[in-house]
Structure 1
């Protein structure tokens, strides 16, 4: 993702992060740190646009760990509020799995899926991810207080 694309995506990123309902990213993160986190630190970052060029969402792909754990990848997905419910997250997740396999990753793991984010949990499960662990009260939800997070995993090459 170019810096220009990230600048267009920035309002979506800010809205999602400042809502503090789904991501363990500091809500006060600035543009430069967010760009490094979302675009420079990962192996690759993609942006989803419709036929007219309207930004629908973005995701990144990176190794989940280093060294002996670098065969498992991790992704983060964000969908623009106006594009929710249109299959954008599904398409990005399917695309990310194809990209992960092409990059040699053997599995994909999501480290902290907020349990109250039931739409995401259900989507990931429909796409073949399993909850392999639950961390009690690992997330401070602004309305619901301390809530659980799930570790979700899917083998990509079997």
Structure 2
């Protein structure tokens, strides 16, 4: 069985563009082919992350993770998950979604609101935290060496 690898697409190139042209029609027959400029916008965006799943160095799947801020939280949305028909059933969809989910958790973990919440939680915990120390006044050793 081939190894599945998932990577965050760092730059829009012909390989990824060709994969988009091959995969997106399997997701939506009404979508127009994406242009290189549009792909570059997605890859360079601060709010979207494009992932590519590979089997034997061939791109067999794509997923877009969109991370955005609303007044009450940071949200992550998974969009346009597509895996090549020839690779379906081998776990690529699960793999690519799990990788994107890890990325969304990382985005929240590193977000300022999360760090603020952690600081408040730590302050509350440490305000109520007490450490007691004691000395051992009496000690018995029942090991076999002590009984000789």
TM-score between both structures, scaled by the size of structure 1 = 0.49
Counterpart position of 1:89: 93
Counterpart position of 2:136: none
The alpha carbon displacement at 1:33 in A equals 1.0
Q: Which runs of 4+ in 1 moved over 3 A?
A: 15-20
Q: Compared with structure 1, are the counterparts of its residues 19 and 86 closer, same or farther at alpha carbon in structure 2 (3 Å cutoff)?
A: closer
Q: Compared with structure 1, are the counterparts of its residues 57 and 18 closer, same or farther at alpha carbon in structure 2 (3 Å cutoff)?
A: closer
- Quote the RMSD (CA, aligned, Å): 2.9
| Matching residue within 56, 62, 86 for 2:60 | 56
Query: Cα deviations across residues 55-110 of structure 1 (Å, max 9, x unaligned)?
Result: 222323222x43326521112323233222211111111121122112217xxxxx
Give runs of aligned pairs for residues 1-158 of structure 1, distance below 5 A: 1-3=9-11, 6-18=13-25, 21=28, 26-37=31-42, 39-41=43-45, 42-50=47-55, 52-63=56-67, 65-68=68-71, 71-76=74-79, 77-104=81-108
Task: Structure 1: give runs of 5+ residues left out of the alignment.
Answer: 106-158
Q: Compared with structure 1, are the counterparts of its residues 21 and 54 closer, same or farther at alpha carbon in structure 2 (3 Å cutoff)?
A: closer
Q: Distance in 2 between matches of 1:20 and 1:46?
A: 16
Q: Compared with structure 1, are the counterparts of its residues 56 and 33 closer, same or farther at alpha carbon in structure 2 (3 Å cutoff)?
A: same
Which has more helix, going by share of residues?
A: 2
Query: Cα deviations across residues 5-26 of structure 1 (Å, max 9, x unaligned)?
Result: x42232331234345637x8x4
Which has more strand, going by share of residues?
A: 1
The alpha carbon displacement at 1:46 in A equals 2.5
Task: Structure 2: give runs of 5+ residues left out of the alignment.
Answer: 1-8, 110-148
Q: Compared with structure 1, are the counterparts of its residues 53 and 72 closer, same or farther at alpha carbon in structure 2 (3 Å cutoff)?
A: same
Decide whether the 8 Å contact of 1:57 with 1:78 is kept in 2: yes
Q: Specify the structure having the higher radius of gyration (Cα).
A: 2
Decide whether the 8 Å contact of 1:13 with 1:78 is kept in 2: no
